[in-house]
């Protein structure tokens, strides 16, 4: 496969924009894709059906996070191999990781199908919502292989500097879901939304495979399977998958807390999650772009270029999130009413964004630093940062403030505090790692002189 972008010698701002903007567009289309179910279910089937979808959402978020994180782990090693010009190694990595991805996703699907009811019970799913939430997830799991492989192939393309095709693929998937959802909801009720989602995901994967086959982007040969690469993939993929899953685990925990405040509160929290994607996805795009870009710079031992890209992303991300945060916070109430005709839920959404709004600027900084850490081959450090502010800070603090009588506002305050700690911890870790790697490279050069 030919490189689409020259991250080592190209213009920093242009290369960053060429990589990040298509990813951002793809993620916003993914947001539209995810909003389709919510909008149709909320408007056609009512508050109870929407609350059931919200109870199912944490499991879906975790599954998607595992797929994205594991694929990102592959991207870390593959980007470094591409940056170092090791074509044969890169092809071995693709073959080996693809087979591992298929086996892993099928195994996870089977395991979750068996444990679905206990998992929903742990999430505090009300008895009245359990049948609907179970039906939706059971159908969704049947298409998880397609979700996983789609994430895998987009990660491979990103490793080679191609992030444009992801936009086209998710656009097709979004349109399909938007068209199929009302049809299948009319025919099958709540289950129809899940069926439409699975069908659109499967068709999106087919489109991806056709593109790869026609472009002959890389060759897959079973004899290229290299068992020795499995451990490095696991070493990078597991921390990366867990890292991506931590926010979803946190969301699952907070969902269980919010459930105790009634169906309207649960529906409102689900709406905040949908609106937050407008603010999270640009930051995620910089994270994913920097993983590949910094990975190539690290493979070529150009740490000066890695620093340049980090600075450019911090400036761009902060400016963009400043505008988006102001818009979402200012229009939170009317936006909430698009999902559900409930003034009580809309008020809860508005209060949420008034409290948490400033945290999204910090989240943009956090994602830039974490993406750089991943690209430098240190997903474990990135993981530790996320464990700190999600599992050690956000979840216990939310539980404490809720049980001390601060109610929903106490939970929202815990979210804001965790964003502050996140930005500080990730900045310290990323800047220290970049400094250390540059020092090692300089020392190595001196020894060769």
Q: What is the 3-state secondary structure (H, E, C) of 213-225?
A: HHHCCCCCCHHHC
Q: What is the pLDDT of residue 449?
A: 47
Q: What is the pLDDT of residue 1?
A: 43
Q: What is the pLDDT of residue 217?
A: 65
Distance, CA of 414 to CA of 427 (rounded, Å): 20
Q: What is the pLDDT of residue 182?
A: 87
Residue 17's contacts (CB-CB under 8 Å, 6 or more residues apart) are none
Distance, CA of 400 to CA of 431 (rounded, Å): 33
Count of CB atoms within 10 A of residue 44's CB? 17
Q: What is the pLDDT of residue 163?
A: 64
Contact between 305 and 434 (Cβ < 8 Å) = no
Which is nearest to 430 in space by CA: 322, 319, 303, 316? 303
Which is nearest to 351 in space by CA: 407, 421, 405? 407
Count of CB atoms within 10 A of residue 290's CB? 31
Question: For residue 57, with 0-12 CB atoms within 10 Å meaning exposed, 13-18 middle and 19 or more buried, which class applies?
Answer: buried
Task: Kindly give the residue spans of alpha helices, DSSP state H, lying in 260-302.
Answer: 263-299
Q: What is the pLDDT of residue 330?
A: 93
> Cα separations (Å) of 330 from 205, 317, 351, 412?
38, 20, 11, 17
Q: What angle do CA 51, 53, 55 make, to 5 degrees?
A: 70
Q: What is the pLDDT of residue 446?
A: 54
Q: What is the pLDDT of residue 418?
A: 94
Helix or strand run (H / E) with residue 11: none
Straight-line distance from the first to the last Cα atom of the chain, in angstroms, rounded to the nearest whole number: 35
Q: 20-75 pLDDT, tens per residue?
A: 888 888 777 777 776 777 778 877 777 788 788 878 888 888 888 888 878 877 87
Q: What is the pLDDT of residue 2?
A: 43
Longest dimension (CA), the chain: 74
Model confidence, pTM: 0.68
Q: What is the DSSP string of 108-129?
A: HHHHHHHHHHHHHHHTT--TTT
Q: How far is CA 276 from the centre of its chain?
A: 12
Which is nearest to 144 in space by CA: 93, 97, 197, 185? 197
Helix or strand run (H / E) with residue 3: none
Contact between 91 and 219 (Cβ < 8 Å) = yes
Q: What is the pLDDT of residue 438?
A: 65
Q: What is the pLDDT of residue 410?
A: 96
Which is nearest to 325 in space by CA: 422, 244, 419, 390? 419
Q: What is the pLDDT of residue 45?
A: 79
Count of CB atoms within 10 A of residue 351's CB? 17
Distance, CA of 382 to CA of 35 (rounded, Å): 29
Residue 317, token pair as written in the block: 């991300």
State the residue for tokens 């213009």: 11
Residue 144, token pair as written in the block: 């998880």
Q: Average pLDDT across each block of 10 residues of the chain; the chain has 449 residues. List them in order.
A: 65 85 78 73 77 82 84 78 75 86 92 90 82 90 89 82 72 81 87 87 84 73 78 77 80 87 88 88 86 81 84 89 93 90 91 93 90 79 82 94 94 95 89 73 52
């Amino acid at each position: 496969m030919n490189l689409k972008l020259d991250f080592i010698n190209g213009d920093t701002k242009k290369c960053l924009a060429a990589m990040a903007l298509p990813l951002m567009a793809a993620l916003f289309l993914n947001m539209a894709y995810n909003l389709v179910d919510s909008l149709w279910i909320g408007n056609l089937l009512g508050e109870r059906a929407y609350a059931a979808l919200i109870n199912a959402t944490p499991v879906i978020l975790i599954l998607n996070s595992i797929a994205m994180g594991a694929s990102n782990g592959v991207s870390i090693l593959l980007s470094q191999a591409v940056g170092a010009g090791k074509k044969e190694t890169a092809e071995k990595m693709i073959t080996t990781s693809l087979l591992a991805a298929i086996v892993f996703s099928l195994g996870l699907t089977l395991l979750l199908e068996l444990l679905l009811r206990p998992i929903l019970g742990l999430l505090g799913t009300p008895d009245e919502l359990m049948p609907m939430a179970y039906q939706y997830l059971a159908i969704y799991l049947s298409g998880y292989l397609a979700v996983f492989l789609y994430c895998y192939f987009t990660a491979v393309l990103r490793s080679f500097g191609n992030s444009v095709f992801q936009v086209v693929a998710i656009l097709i998937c979004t349109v399909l879901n938007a068209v199929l959802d009302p049809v299948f909801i009319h025919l099958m009720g709540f289950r129809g939304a899940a069926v439409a989602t699975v069908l659109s995901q499967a068709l999106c994967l087919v489109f991806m495979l056709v593109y790869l086959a026609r472009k002959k982007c890389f060759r897959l040969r079973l004899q290229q399977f290299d068992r020795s690469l499995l451990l490095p993939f696991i070493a990078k993929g597991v921390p990366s998958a867990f890292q991506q899953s931590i926010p979803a685990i946190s969301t699952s925990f907070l969902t269980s807390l919010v459930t105790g405040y009634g169906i309207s509160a649960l529906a409102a929290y689900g709406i905040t999650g949908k609106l937050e994607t407008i603010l999270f996805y640009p930051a995620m795009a910089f994270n994913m772009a920097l993983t590949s870009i910094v990975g190539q710079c690290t493979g070529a031992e150009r740490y000066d270029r890695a620093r340049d890209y980090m600075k450019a992303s911090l400036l761009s991300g902060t400016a963009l999130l400043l505008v988006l945060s102001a818009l979402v916070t200012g229009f939170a109430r009317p936006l909430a009413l698009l999902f559900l005709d409930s003034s009580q839920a809309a008020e809860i959404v508005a209060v949420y964004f008034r409290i948490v709004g400033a945290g999204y600027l910090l989240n943009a900084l956090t994602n830039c630093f974490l993406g750089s850490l991943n690209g430098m081959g240190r997903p474990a450090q990135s993981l530790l940062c996320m464990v700190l502010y999600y599992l050690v800070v956000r979840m216990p603090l939310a539980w404490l403030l809720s049980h001390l009588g601060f109610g929903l506002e106490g939970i929202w305050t815990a979210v804001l505090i965790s964003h502050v700690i996140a930005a500080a911890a990730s900045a310290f870790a990323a800047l220290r790692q970049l400094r250390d790697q540059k020092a090692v490279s300089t020392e190595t050069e001196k020894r060769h002189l």
